[in-house]
Structure 1
Amino acid sequence: MNTTTTSMRVACLAGAALSVLACAFPAAAQNAAAEQDAAEDGSVIVVTGSIRGSLENATETKRAALNVVDVATADSVGRFPDENIAAALARLPGVAVQLDQGQARYIQVRGAPNRWTSVAIDGLPQTGTDEGGGERAYRFDAVPAVLLQQLVVNKSLTPDITAEAITALVDLQTYSPLDDGKLGFSVTGDAGYGFMDLGEGQQRSGSLRLSWTNDRIGIAVGGSHYLRDQVTDNREAGYDANGIPIDIDIRNYELRRENNGLFGAFEVRASDDLKLFVNGIYTEFVDREERNAYEIELADSGARGTRGLLSGSLDNVSITTNYNDGLYVNENIITSAGFDYDTPEGGVKGIVGYTRTENTTDLPLIQSSIRGISVDYDRSADPRFPVVDLFRTINTGGVFSRGEPLGEIPITEQSVPRTILIPIVQGVVSDAWSGRLDAWKQLDDLKISAGLYATKRDITGNNIGIGGIVPLAATGFNPNDYATDRAWNTQFPLGVGINYLDTRAMNRDLQSALATAGIDPANFVLPTSFYDQQERIYAGYAMAQWDAGPLQLVAGLRAEQYEIDNAGTVLFGGTAAPLAVSQDFFDLFPSVNIRYEASDNIVLRLGGQRGVSRPAYAAIRVGASISDTAATIGGGNPFLTPEYTWGADATIEYYFASNGIASISGFHRWVEDVLYQSQQLVGSDLYDTDGIDRSNYLLGSTFNGEQGTLYGVEFNVETQFDFLPGALAGLGVQGNLTLLGGDFEARNAAGDLETFGFQGLSDTVLNASVFYEYAGLSLRVAYQKRSEFLDTIGGLGAGEFRDGFENLDVTARYALTPNITLFADLANLTDETYVAFEGTPATPSEVERIGERYLFGVRFNF
C-alpha cells in the first residue's frame, strides 16, 4: 500500500474518532453536570468504567495477596480488551511477549526464558507442548481471553503452588457464575470487524457468554472466535565469517489465523459453606500459512563476480524457490470437577482434571530452482532491505556476461527436474490426569494448611526435522503451472517485481499426485525424532500462616517426586533399535513470604523460595542418530537434569487513598544446571553396542550448564486522577519499567567455561498507558517497548538476537447505554519492523513486518 493511501486511511480513522468524541461529549457533559450537582452537598463524585473497575479489582487482589503477585482482571463487560491472554498479560510489570509473525504467543516474566514461567488453570497446573515438544512453555495464543475472569501472576511462591516456576506461575482463573454476583439470566458478548493494513485482509472477532444463577445454582456456557487474514513481509539472509552475505532470501506469507473456544461451567452451592463445580474448555488455534520465498544464492559455486559487504555484482547465480501451503493446529481440551468447603474455622477443597493437548504441523515444502541469473545487490541504504537488480546470464563458451534486465523474477522458468518435496510432518499429543486436595484449619491467629497433588502425563510425538526428500519430476508435477499475475502485497523495497504462485492449488494437486504414486509424507519423518514418554509427579506440602496485626508470615515446605519413563529409537549406522531410559528425582522446596502493613497506605513484602524447571520433552528424548565414521551423535539427551533455583523477592507497595498503586520490586534468582545447546562428550555407555565404545563421541544436543544469576528491579504505577475537578477526573496512567540483568556459565566442547546470556533477556521492558474514562467514554493509548534479546543459543554459543521493538495501540469505548458499548481497537500503529540479527545489527538474519490492525465493533452485557 502506498504512502498516500495509508495517510488517507489514518485521516479517516482520526475523523471517525473525532466524530465519536463529538457525539460522546454532550452526553459526558450532561452526566458530568448531574454528578457535579450531586457533589455540591459534599458527596464524592464516582467515576465508573471498565478500566477503573479492572484497576480497582486488580489492586484489591494484589494488596490482599500473601505473596508477590500482579493481577489483570476482565473489564466490566466480562472480557479483556486483547486478542489473547499473552497480550493481556503484557500490560503487567516485568512481562514481555514473544511474537510469532506479529501475534503474541509466549510471555517472558522478568526477562527469563519462557520455560521458567508455568501455568495453572483454576489452580490446577498445566504443561505446554509446543511444536515438536521443543519447549514446555505454555502457548498463550491458544486460549482466548474471553474465557477468563482474572489472571494472577505469582512472582514469589507459596508451598501450595507447584515448584515448577522459577520466575512466575500464571494462574488463569475461569469465569464463575456464582461468584459473578448476578441473579437470573444474563448474556455478555461482543462482535467486531476490521482489517489489516498490509494486504487489506479482514480481521473479525466475536464472543458470547450465557449464564443463569439463583441463590444455589450457576450455569454458564459460551464461545469465542477470532480470525485475521494477514500478510507478512519477510527478508532473511545468511552470512559468512566476515559478515558478507551468502544469500538473500525474499519471502512473503499469506496467513489465515483463527482462534476458537468453547466453555461451560456448572456450579451448585449445596450449602452456605459448600460449592460443587464442573468446568470444561475447548480451544483451537489454526494457522494456515501460504509461503512464497526466493533465495538468491550469492555464494553459488558456479557464480562469477564480486560479493561485498554492502554491494555485489554476480553472474550465473541460481534462485532457490520455496513454496508452501502449511497448516499448524493446536487443540486443547481442559476439564475439571471438584468441591470447595470453606468455613471460618477451616475447610477442604478438592479438584480433579483431564487435559489433552494436540499439536500438529504439516508443511509440504515444494522446492525448485531458477538458473542462469545475474544479480546486482545493494545493502548500503539499509542492510535490512537489500535491493536487487536481476539480469539474464549469457554463457559464451564458459565466459559469462550480462543479458537483458529482468523486471520480475521469472517464476515460470523453474527447473522441473530439480523440483522436490521436503515433507515436514510433526505431531505431539499430551494426555494428563491431575488432582489436588487442600485442607486448612484456623487456630486463632494461626492457619495451618496441607495438601496433596498428583499428575500422570503421557506424551507421544516427534519433533520437527527433515527425514528425506521426494523428487517430483516422475509424478508429472510442474511448479510453473501455478504462476499468477497477482503482484505481491509488500511494503519492503525489492528492486524487482514478484507475482504470487497459487500455493493452495499447488498443494491440492501435489497431494493428488502423491496419492497416485503411493507416497505418504508421514513415512519421511525421522525415526530418531519420535518419543514416547510418561511422566508422573507426586507432591505434598505443609504451610503455616501467622497473622499478628499488620504482620503476616507464610512459611512451609513442598516435596515433589518426579519420575519419567523415556522411550525412542536410535540409529546405529543406519540400523534402527529401540532404547529406553528412566529417571526419577526427589526434591524439597521451602518457601517463606513476609507481608507487613507499615501504614494504611504502605505494604512491605519479602519472599524466599526454591524452584525448578524440567527439560522439554523433545530435548530429553532418547532418539539419536550415530555416525561411527565422524564419531558424532545427534539427538536428544535423556540424562538432562532439571534446572534448580534459589530466589529472593522484596517489594514496597504504596496504595493511593482512592485507587491505584505505586510500587518498587526487586528480585534475584540463583540458578543451577542451566539448560543450553552445545556439543559435549557422551560420557556414558548408553550408546555402546557390539563392543563399540561411544562414550567419547561428540553429542550435539541440549546440556546442563553451570550456575547463573538473574536479577532486576520493577517500577510500577497505576492510578486514576479522580482528585482533579470535573471531567479531568477521568485521566489516569498505568505504567511500569523493568530493568534486568543476568547470565550463566557453561562448558564448550573443549571443556572451557564460557559466559552466555539468557534466552529472552531484555535489559529493559517498558509498558506505559494513558487512559481517560469519564461518563461512558473510555480511551486508552498503550505503549510497549523491550530492548534486544537473545532468541536462540547455537551449537557453541553463537546465537541469533532479536532487536528491540515497540508497539503503540489505541483503544476507544463509548457506552451508548449501560448495556451496549461501541469499541475501536487500533493496534501496532508504529507499523513495527521486527528484526533478528547475527552478532550485530549490520548482519540482519530476519526482517519482518505485518502492518497496522484495526477492529471496530460492539459489546453488550444484559
Structure 2
Amino acid sequence: MSRRQFSFRSVCLATTLFVATPAAAQTALPAPLRTGGQPAQLDEVVVTGARLQARNEIAAKREAAIIQDSISADEIGSLPDFGLGEALERAPGVSTVQNNDRGEAQFLSIRGLNADYNLVEVDGVALPANEIGRRNVSLDVIPSSLARRVDVAKSVTAAMNGNAIGGVANLVTRSAFDGRGRRFVAGRVDLGHWGNERNFARSGLSGQGEFVVSDTFGPDRRFGFVVSASRYVRDSSSLNSAVDNYSFFDPTTHARLAAGDPGLADADVSPQRRRWLAYDNVRERKGVFGKLEYRHGPLEARLTAADFSHTNDEDRQSNILVANGNPVATSITATGGSVASANAQVDLSEYYQDRGIHYVDFRARWTPGPRQFLDFGVNTAVASYRQDTRLATYRIANTPNLAFTYEVSKGDFPYFAPANPGFLLSPANYRQFEYGTALDDSREKARTANLDWGFNVESQDRGWGAQLGGYARRLERAYDRQVDNYRPLSASDYRLSAVGRLSDYAPYNGRGTRMLIVDPGLAQSFFEVNQAGFSATTTNTANSISSDYDVKEDIDAGYALARFATDRLTILGGLRFERTRLETGSAALVGSAYVYGAQTSQYDDWLPSLQANYDLTDRLKLRAAASRTIGRPDYDDLAARETVSVNTDGDFTIRGGNPNLKPRRSDNLDLSLEYYGGRDVMMSVGAFQKRIADEILTLRTTADEMYNGALESVTRIRPVNAGDFQVRGLELNLVVGRMDFLPGALAGLGASANLTLLDAVPPSVTMGDFTERRLPSLFESSDVIGNVKLFYNFGALTLQGAWNHVGDMLYSVSNSDPTQDRIVKANDRFDAQARYRITPNLTVVAQAKNLTNTRRQRMFGPDFGLLREELDNGRAFYVGALFRY
C-alpha cells in the first residue's frame, strides 16, 4: 500500500462545522476535570455565522483542562449536518467509518485510529451499542440537533472513562439556562434531492425537520426545560460494483500463479467474477429529547430522557457472472482475455433494519461550601438492533452459453462482454436455488452510576485541590438469530420467468449491459403458492442456535487525583482503577446436540495519568500529558459462537468469536503547543505516541476442510490478539475567524484547516504456515486525515466550502493469502453551503453534499492495485430555512 505517500492534496482538506451559535454559557452541570472548561459568554452579539462559531471553538480549546478540540452548534442550536457522525468529521483529527460505505457516517475515529479505540458519550455518559458486531455507538442514530457542542478529548484524566485509547467524544446537550435563561425557540426545515434516485420504485422526498424550545420558569426562574424533536429522511440508491477475486498468470507462459509466487505484481490478471449490487434505500431517523432542570443556591439538578431511532428499508438486487475455470490460455493479455464457460446468478435481498437508543438520565450537583462540589448521577439506557431479511436466489449452472470476453485495467472495474447476451438476460434460464428469511435481534441494556467529590479544582481555582470519585456500570446484551432457508425439491423446476414481472437496470459502468431486477413481492408470493415444492435446509437449526449468545459485563471503577494551579501553570495527576467482570454464554455442538455453556473472566487495570498546562506567554500555551488507557473487545468477538453462510459459489464462510480475547492496553504520551492570536486566530501543533499491547485483529483464513461430511472450501473469520505495536502522530491545526488584514469586504474571509499524520509500526500476524507477517498498516486506521474549510461572511450572506480527506484504511486481513488483505482507498469529499439572513429571525440555506461525486473504492491484490468494490452514492442537494425567536 504506499503507506507514506503524503501529497499536497492530503494537506488540503475540510474541518469544523458551519455557521453560528448563540452566546455560549456554562453547561448546567460542568464536569471540571472530564470535559474541560467551557467557552466564555460572548460580549459582541453582532458577530454571527462561521466567525462566531470559530470564536466559540477557539475559546473552548483554550480554556479546556486537557488536550481537546470542539465543534459548536449553529444559530438554531443544532450542528448544521445531517447526523452527529457527519458533524464530527469537521473536527480536527476526526474521521468516521461509514455504514457499509453508503455515505452515512457511523463509527468515530479519532486521530485516524481504529473506531474501537474511542468512546462516545452524551453529557458524560457512555451509551450502549446499537449495532451488531461492535461495542461502538452507531452515530447515524443520534440527531445532530441534540448537540449544543461536541468536545473531542485527546488526552485523559483519572476522572474520565478508561476505555478510550484514541479519545472521547462528549456530546453536550442544550440547557434551558444557556443565554441567561431566556426563552429560545428555533427550528429548521430542509428538502433534498439525491442524484442517485431509487431504481426499482418511485423515489420520495428527502429532507429533515428539527424543532427545539427552551425556557425557564417558576419562582426566580429556578426551573427550566428543553424539548426538541427531529426527523430526517434519505431516499436514494447506491450501486456496488464488485470483483470478488482475480486469477494471476505468467505473462509469457500463461501458467496460473499461486499466492506467494514471485512476479505476482507484474502478472496478467483475470477477474473471476463480476457482480453488481444495486440498492434502493429509504433511511429515516427520528429523535425526541426532553430535559427538566433546577438551579437555586447550592443545588443544581436535571432529569433527561431521550429516544432515538434509525430505520433502513432496503431492496438489494444483485447480478453475478462467474468464470468456470481459467481463461483460454492463448487469449490472456495484460488487458483482457476470454472465458469459455461460466455460471450466473440473480438474487434479491430485502432488509428492514431498525436501530434505536433510549435513555433516562439524572444528574445533581451540590456545592456545600466555597470551591467544593458533590456530583451524583444515574443513567439507564437500552439499545436495540433488529434486522428482518427476505432473500431469493436464481442460478444458471456452468455452460458454454455464458462464455464471455473481458477487458481489464488494474485499479478499474473490468468490462465483461457475454458472447450470448440474450441467454444471460433470459429469465427462463435461471432456476430457483433458494428462498429464505432471517431475523437478527440484539438488545443491550446498561445502567451506570457515579459519585464525585471535588475541592478547589475549577478552572479559576489556585493552589492545591483534589477530586475523588466512583463509577459502576452493569451491562447485559443478548443476540438472537433465526434462519429459515428453503431449497426446491429435486423434482421441482422453478424458473425465474415463472415468478412474474421483471425489469432491468443499466449500471453506469456497464457500457449498456443491463441487470435483471426481481420484484420482491412477486418472489414472496411465488414461494408461498409453491411452498410444497420446497424443503427446509438441514442447517437452519444449527445456524440459528450456534449464532446466539449473551454477555454480562460489570465494570467498577474508582479514582483519585490532585490538582495544583498558579496563574500560569496547572498540573493534574491521578490514578484510576477499573475492574471488569465478564460472562459470555453460547451454544456449541456436542455430539448431536447443542449444549449451552458459559465462560467467565475478570481483569483489573490501574490507569495512571498526568496532565500539565503552562502559559508560556499570554498567547502561547504548552500542554503535556501521559496516561494509560484500555480498549475492551467487542461483545460479538467475545462470544464462543459460530455463524455460517454460503457464498454465491457454494463455498462456506464461518464467523466465530473468541472468549479468550484480552483487552488492548495503551501507554500514551501527548504534547501540544497552542498559539492564540486574540479571539479569531488559533494555531496548534500536537505530537503523540501510543504503545498498544494485545491489538485485536479479525483474521480471514481460507482452506479445504471437512464440513458436513464433505471436503469443502471454508473461509473462517475469527478475532485474535495479534501482538504489540507503536504509533506516533502529528497534528496541525489552524483557525482564522476573520482576515482583518485584507481590505474592505475581503476582511470577511475566514478559514480553518487541520492535518493529522500517523507513523506506525503495525503488529504482526501468524500465517497458516506459522510464519510471522507484519501488516501493511494499522487495522481500520488512516495514515492521513485532513480538512480545509473556507468561509466568507459579508453582511447577511455566508458562504462555506469544506474539503475532507481520509487516507487508505486497512479493513480486512488474511493469514492465508496476503493478497486478500483489503483496504478502503484514500478518498476526498467536498461539501458546500450558502446562507442568507433575511431577517434576524429567518435564514434561508442551500447546501450540497459530495460535489466531487466521490466513489469510495475497496482494493486488494499485490500492492492493493486491484479494485474489489466501487460504491457509488451520488451527490445530494438541499434547500431550506432556519428560524429562531
- Counterpart of 1:854 in structure 2: which amino acid? F
* Preserved CA contact (<8 Å) 2:130 2:355: no
User: Cα 1:667–1:191, aligned 2, differ >3 Å: closer, same or farther?
Assistant: same
> 1:379 is matched with which residue: 400, 403, 407?
407
Who is 1:538 aligned against?
Answer: 556
1:152 Cα offset (Å): 0.7
Is the counterpart of residue 210 in structure 1 residue 206 in structure 2?
no
Who is 1:413 aligned against?
Answer: 428
* Preserved CA contact (<8 Å) 1:679 1:748: no
Who is 1:687 aligned against?
Answer: none
Is the counterpart of residue 290 in structure 1 residue 293 in structure 2?
no
- Which moves more between the two structures, 281-290 or 602-611? 281-290
* Preserved CA contact (<8 Å) 1:660 1:718: yes
* Preserved CA contact (<8 Å) 1:327 1:362: yes
- Distance in 2, matches of 1:494 and 1:316, equals 22
- Distance in 2, matches of 1:519 and 1:625, equals 18
User: Cα 1:516–1:159, aligned 2, differ >3 Å: closer, same or farther?
Assistant: farther
Over residues 818-847 of structure 1, what are the superposed CA-to-partner deviations in whole Å (9 max), with x where a residue is unaligned? 111101110100011111011245421111
Taking the TM superposition and a 5 Å limit, the aligned residue runs for 1:580-659 are 580-624=598-642, 635-659=656-680
1:411 Cα offset (Å): 5.2
* Preserved CA contact (<8 Å) 1:305 1:313: no
Who is 1:27 aligned against?
Answer: none
User: Cα 1:302–1:479, aligned 2, differ >3 Å: closer, same or farther?
Assistant: farther
* Preserved CA contact (<8 Å) 1:284 1:332: yes
Who is 1:550 aligned against?
Answer: 568
Who is 2:766 aligned against?
Answer: 747
User: Cα 1:71–1:603, aligned 2, differ >3 Å: closer, same or farther?
Assistant: same
Who is 1:563 aligned against?
Answer: 581
Who is 2:737 aligned against?
Answer: 720
- Distance in 1, matches of 2:569 and 2:466, equals 17
- Distance in 1, matches of 2:390 and 2:690, equals 43
- Counterpart of 1:412 in structure 2: which amino acid? P
1:517 Cα offset (Å): 8.6
Who is 1:819 aligned against?
Answer: 841
Aligned-partner SS, 2:611: strand
Who is 1:390 aligned against?
Answer: 418
Aligned-partner SS, 2:324: coil
- Distance in 1, matches of 2:417 and 2:313, equals 32
Aligned-partner SS, 1:224: strand
1:859 Cα offset (Å): 0.8
- Distance in 2, matches of 1:305 and 1:582, equals 60
Is the counterpart of residue 501 in structure 1 residue 518 in structure 2?
yes
Aligned residues: 778
- Distance in 2, matches of 1:749 and 1:382, equals 28
- Distance in 1, matches of 2:528 and 2:360, equals 37
> 1:366 is matched with which residue: 388, 392, 407?
392
Is the counterpart of residue 846 in structure 1 residue 869 in structure 2?
yes
- Counterpart of 1:668 in structure 2: which amino acid? Q
Is the counterpart of residue 794 in structure 1 residue 814 in structure 2?
yes
- Distance in 1, matches of 2:526 and 2:177, equals 54
1:225 Cα offset (Å): 0.9
Over residues 31-54 of structure 1, what are the superposed CA-to-partner deviations in whole Å (9 max), with x where a residue is unaligned? xxxxxxxxxxxxx99862232222
Aligned-partner SS, 1:706: coil
Over residues 596-634 of structure 1, what are the superposed CA-to-partner deviations in whole Å (9 max), with x where a residue is unaligned? 1111111110000000011111111022599xxxxx997
Is the counterpart of residue 229 in structure 1 residue 235 in structure 2?
yes
User: Cα 1:625–1:295, aligned 2, differ >3 Å: closer, same or farther?
Assistant: closer
Who is 1:130 aligned against?
Answer: 131
1:556 Cα offset (Å): 0.2
Over residues 235-280 of structure 1, what are the superposed CA-to-partner deviations in whole Å (9 max), with x where a residue is unaligned? 11122452432111122111111111111111111x1331111111
- Distance in 2, matches of 1:811 and 1:491, equals 28
Who is 1:856 aligned against?
Answer: 879
> 1:357 is matched with which residue: 374, 383, 391?
383
1:337 Cα offset (Å): 1.0
Is the counterpart of residue 809 in structure 1 residue 831 in structure 2?
yes
Over residues 319-357 of structure 1, what are the superposed CA-to-partner deviations in whole Å (9 max), with x where a residue is unaligned? 111111111221111220121224642111111111111
Is the counterpart of residue 828 in structure 1 residue 850 in structure 2?
yes
- Distance in 2, matches of 1:172 and 1:475, equals 57
* Preserved CA contact (<8 Å) 2:321 2:342: yes
1:677 Cα offset (Å): 3.0
Aligned-partner SS, 2:636: coil
Over residues 175-204 of structure 1, what are the superposed CA-to-partner deviations in whole Å (9 max), with x where a residue is unaligned? 2112343423x3211111120112274421
Structure 2 gaps, min length 5: 1-42, 249-268, 645-652, 702-714
- Counterpart of 1:431 in structure 2: which amino acid? K
> 1:672 is matched with which residue: 693, 710, 716?
693
- Distance in 2, matches of 1:60 and 1:431, equals 37
Q: TM-score, normalised by structure 1?
A: 0.85
Is the counterpart of residue 263 in structure 1 residue 289 in structure 2?
yes
- Distance in 2, matches of 1:353 and 1:542, equals 22
Who is 2:23 aligned against?
Answer: none
- Distance in 1, matches of 2:535 and 2:291, equals 47
- Distance in 1, matches of 2:828 and 2:752, equals 17
Aligned-partner SS, 2:839: coil
Structure 1 gaps, min length 5: 1-43, 393-404, 627-631, 681-697
Over residues 201-221 of structure 1, what are the superposed CA-to-partner deviations in whole Å (9 max), with x where a residue is unaligned? 442111111222232111121
- Distance in 1, matches of 2:304 and 2:492, equals 51
- Distance in 1, matches of 2:523 and 2:516, equals 15
- Which moves more between the two structures, 328-337 or 475-484? 475-484
- Distance in 2, matches of 1:204 and 1:510, equals 37
- Which moves more between the two structures, 94-103 or 331-340? 94-103
User: Cα 1:385–1:634, aligned 2, differ >3 Å: closer, same or farther?
Assistant: closer
Is the counterpart of residue 710 in structure 1 residue 727 in structure 2?
yes
1:130 Cα offset (Å): 1.8
* Preserved CA contact (<8 Å) 1:564 1:582: yes
User: Cα 1:352–1:91, aligned 2, differ >3 Å: closer, same or farther?
Assistant: same
Who is 1:61 aligned against?
Answer: 60
- Distance in 1, matches of 2:755 and 2:673, equals 15
Over residues 381-434 of structure 1, what are the superposed CA-to-partner deviations in whole Å (9 max), with x where a residue is unaligned? 575332222243xxxxxxxxxxxx53x952522534x33025443221101111
- Distance in 1, matches of 2:815 and 2:484, equals 21
Who is 2:21 aligned against?
Answer: none
- Distance in 1, matches of 2:877 and 2:159, equals 42
Who is 1:689 aligned against?
Answer: none
Who is 1:772 aligned against?
Answer: 792
* Preserved CA contact (<8 Å) 2:212 2:226: yes
- Distance in 2, matches of 1:188 and 1:457, equals 37
Who is 1:691 aligned against?
Answer: none
Taking the TM superposition and a 5 Å limit, the aligned residue runs for 1:169-318 are 169-184=168-183, 186-199=184-197, 201=203, 202-214=205-217, 215-240=221-246, 242=248, 243-269=269-295, 271-299=296-324, 310-318=335-343
Over residues 429-474 of structure 1, what are the superposed CA-to-partner deviations in whole Å (9 max), with x where a residue is unaligned? 10111111111012851221111110100000047x9886544899
Q: TM-score, normalised by structure 2?
A: 0.83
1:811 Cα offset (Å): 0.7
1:302 Cα offset (Å): 12
Who is 1:8 aligned against?
Answer: none
Is the counterpart of residue 527 in structure 1 residue 549 in structure 2?
no
- Counterpart of 1:331 in structure 2: which amino acid? G
- Distance in 2, matches of 1:553 and 1:730, equals 39
* Preserved CA contact (<8 Å) 1:545 1:553: yes
- Counterpart of 1:389 in structure 2: which amino acid? A
Who is 1:758 aligned against?
Answer: 778
- Counterpart of 1:549 in structure 2: which amino acid? D
- Counterpart of 2:215 in structure 1: which amino acid? W
- Distance in 2, matches of 1:261 and 1:285, equals 9
Over residues 352-390 of structure 1, what are the superposed CA-to-partner deviations in whole Å (9 max), with x where a residue is unaligned? 111111112222221111354334343345753322222
Aligned-partner SS, 1:618: helix
> 1:427 is matched with which residue: 410, 425, 441?
441
- Distance in 1, matches of 2:530 and 2:68, equals 56
- Distance in 1, matches of 2:77 and 2:226, equals 12
